[in-house]
Amino acid sequence: MTNDRAVGIHDLSFRTGSLVLTHAELSKHTGASVAKYHKGLGQQAMSLPAADEDIVTMAADAAAPIIERHGTDRICTLLFATETSIDQSKAAGVYVHSLLNLPSNIRVVELKQACYGATAALQFAAALVQREPEQQVLVLASDIACYDLDSPGEATQGAAAVAMLVSVDPSLVEINTPSGLYTHDVMDFWRPNYRATALVNGKKSMAAYLAAVEGAWHDYQAREGLSIEKIRTVCYHQPFTRMAFKAHRHLLDTAGVEADATATDHAIAPTTHYNEIIGNSYTASLYLALASLLDAEDELDAETLGFFSYGSGSVAEFFTGRVVPGYRAQLRTTAHLEAISRRRDIDYNAYRRVHTQPLPDDGSQHRLPHQTQGSFRLSGMEDHQRIYEAVHVSADIACSKGTHRRLTPTV
């Protein structure tokens, strides 16, 4: 079955880690000027996961309000995008499926291509809904950006999850065609299976990012995309927020438009408010930029937005979306601000302890303290299995408070 109705993002919700380290605190111990972080990177603070939080708990916490509002009757697919996967075989979304007590007649798949994965999931979801308009797709993007202590990337760490419900007749953003695509084999950022933290060549990564902006834009134009003048602003993947400003200036130059500094700042700044106090969240980063823009004061009814998604290694995509008139009625601004404000400040020594306490890898029994501010937690490990539980969950989700969920791996 085909569909001529608009398809796009019907609802959007995000959550972040329960801990926060400010860059003012970080700078006291690294020897770097706080201005290097605040001005050079555009970062004010970084979210960190508590001991009992991971990509699953954050994603479930982000998705729960969507389930509460819309139910599960039409959700046929759950797509989980991440580059910090917890298992080489089992999709993290299967754990979320159980925590949210979703119906069994749902397909669940995990997608990976660095920070680009959530855009792949969004486009796959749009295609599924276009084919079968009666269904909805739940897209989850959840990551914890973690770098070696005292490394150049340390100040860009962060953690967050974004949940999006994709459907026909969306309430927030209609996804347009065409898309401009770009792929290039480059080792700018990668994480081998044997490493817990990523490896990055900073200068090469910035150059690869800007080359991808240019390549994706040229392909978008070759596919008869809109001119840059018809696009209100662009949401960018933000490994650090100043990168979005650099990228926009490069895009304008590529499109043959003079890049006025004041106009660029005015266009991009509203997309950076959440990322600058959360840090890099990999697959979630671009859609945190969208949440920041929608939650901002500017009215966007019927405006066309650009989206640039970049995943190191590298794959990129440029596409546009139209903001649905009346979108403000569906926003979750208060909940988003509460998710940020409830984080607990930690000092530098506590941060280093959090950073250097990995989960055991010998299969032994291990219990974790209850530290999360969220509704779901990783309670421990046993026999190489993660054990999750739901706490403080709305009655609208059929998981009673304190329900223990022992989740065994697939064969």
For 186, residues 6+ apart whose C-beta sits below 8 A from its C-beta are 204, 208, 312, 313, 314
Task: Measure the CA–CA gap between 184 and 200, rounded to whole angstroms.
Answer: 16
Task: Measure the CA–CA gap between 338 and 352, rounded to whole angstroms.
Answer: 26
**Would the annotation count 246 as a binding residue?**
yes
Domains delineated in the chain: 7-172+332-406 (3.40.47.10), 174-327 (3.40.47.10)
CB atoms within 10 A of CB 308: 26
**Considering all CA atoms of the chain, what is the largest pairwise distance in Å, rounded to the nearest integer?**
61
The catalytic residue among 10, 76, 110, 115 is 115
* 237 in catalytic set: yes
Task: Measure the CA–CA gap between 16 and 343, rounded to whole angstroms.
Answer: 8
Task: Measure the CA–CA gap between 14 and 297, rounded to whole angstroms.
Answer: 19
Task: Measure the CA–CA gap between 215 and 85, rounded to whole angstroms.
Answer: 29
Rounded to a whole number of angstroms, the distance between the first and last alpha carbons of the chain is 35
Query: What is the pLDDT tens value at each position of the chain, 411 positions in all?
Result: 456 899 999 999 999 999 999 999 999 999 999 999 999 999 999 999 999 999 999 999 999 999 999 999 999 999 999 999 999 999 999 999 999 999 999 999 999 999 999 999 999 999 999 999 999 999 999 999 999 999 999 999 999 999 999 999 999 999 999 999 999 999 999 999 999 899 999 999 999 999 999 999 999 999 999 999 999 999 999 999 999 999 999 999 999 999 899 999 999 999 999 999 999 999 999 999 999 999 999 999 999 999 999 999 999 999 999 999 999 999 999 999 999 999 999 999 999 999 988 888 999 999 999 999 999 999 999 999 999 999 976 555 543 333 333 333 222
* 29 in catalytic set: no
Task: Measure the CA–CA gap between 200 and 238, rounded to whole angstroms.
Answer: 15
The catalytic residue among 83, 154, 174, 317 is 83
Q: How far, rounded to the nearest angstrom, does the alpha carbon of residue 123 sit from its chain's CA centroid?
A: 15
The catalytic residue among 237, 248, 273, 336 is 237
**Would the annotation count 203 as a binding residue?**
no
* 235 in catalytic set: no
